[in-house]
Copies of this chain bind each other. A is one copy, B any other.
Amino acid sequence: MRAEDRSDAALRPVRLTRRFTRHAEGSVLVAFGDTQVICTASIEEGVPGFLKGKGQGWVTAEYGMLPRSTGSRMRREAAAGKQSGRTQEIQRLIGRSLRAVIDLAKLGERQILIDCDVIQADGGTRTASITGAYVALADAVGCLLREGKLSDNPLREHVAAVSVGIVDGRPLLDLDYIEDSGCETDMNVVMTGSGRFIEIQGTAEGEPFSRDEMNRLLDLAGQGIAELIVLQKQALAAA
């Protein structure tokens, strides 16, 4: 059995707490079970050099883990003097996922910087980050609309993400850390509110996987993401 009697196709309890800290234009604490990530969205007027004068905006993301968010303490990346390859992969993925649902031309010459900082990790930190970051981004965009800096909402649709994997031959939704460590195949799926894919990253950790197994995992992911998007909408509907 899975922890807390969870069924194979069930998400862990998901919470999306808006206005978690007070400085950022969007600030969300997202929890997928014991995985907890602070996602903030910061608006900066102006764009990076490579976009100057192109009449469009930019959305980018950074990711980090508190050193003791994990079972044994990891080295602090600021002290090590560099971000790991894993960190860079994840923050690039978060940035791509969010840019896929926003019309950068409509955003104008400004940048929204997303920070996802894991304060407690139990598997699925990157999918929780994307799911929470969308809500923070929506709050920051809401700010711009309310202040009259934007007249037209640049967000095209929702985006959320979930992990799926094959553990002991069974396809499971939303793996926790123990499941993730023991899985044969691990897949992170990023989808939109309209049910289309933004990113699929499937990796055989043990045995290579078949086309059929992939299809079963995508079915599970599609269902999970639909549920996550409902939760995002509920969170954003609250005052």
List residues of chain A with CB under 8 Å of any chain B CB.
Answer: 21-24, 27, 34, 36, 38, 40, 42, 44, 62, 64, 66-73, 76-83, 85-89, 91-92, 96, 100, 113, 115, 117, 119-121, 187, 191-192, 194, 196-204, 207-211, 214, 218, 222
Copies in the complex: 6
Contacts of A36 in B (CB 8 A): 21
Asked whether B85 lies within 8 Å of A92 as measured between CB atoms, the reply is yes
Cβ of A86: which chain B residues have Cβ within 8 Å of it? Answer: 92
Contact A194 B208 (CB under 8 A): yes
Q: How far is the CB of A97 from chain B (nearest CB, A)?
A: 9
**Can you name 14 extra interface pairs (CB under 8 A) apart from A85-B89, A196-B207, A200-B200?**
A38-B66, A40-B67, A40-B68, A42-B67, A76-B78, A77-B78, A78-B83, A85-B88, A89-B89, A89-B92, A117-B119, A192-B208, A197-B211, A199-B204
Residue in B40, B64, B194 whose CB lies within 8 Å of A78: B64
Q: Is the CB–CB distance between B34 and A22 below 8 Å?
A: yes
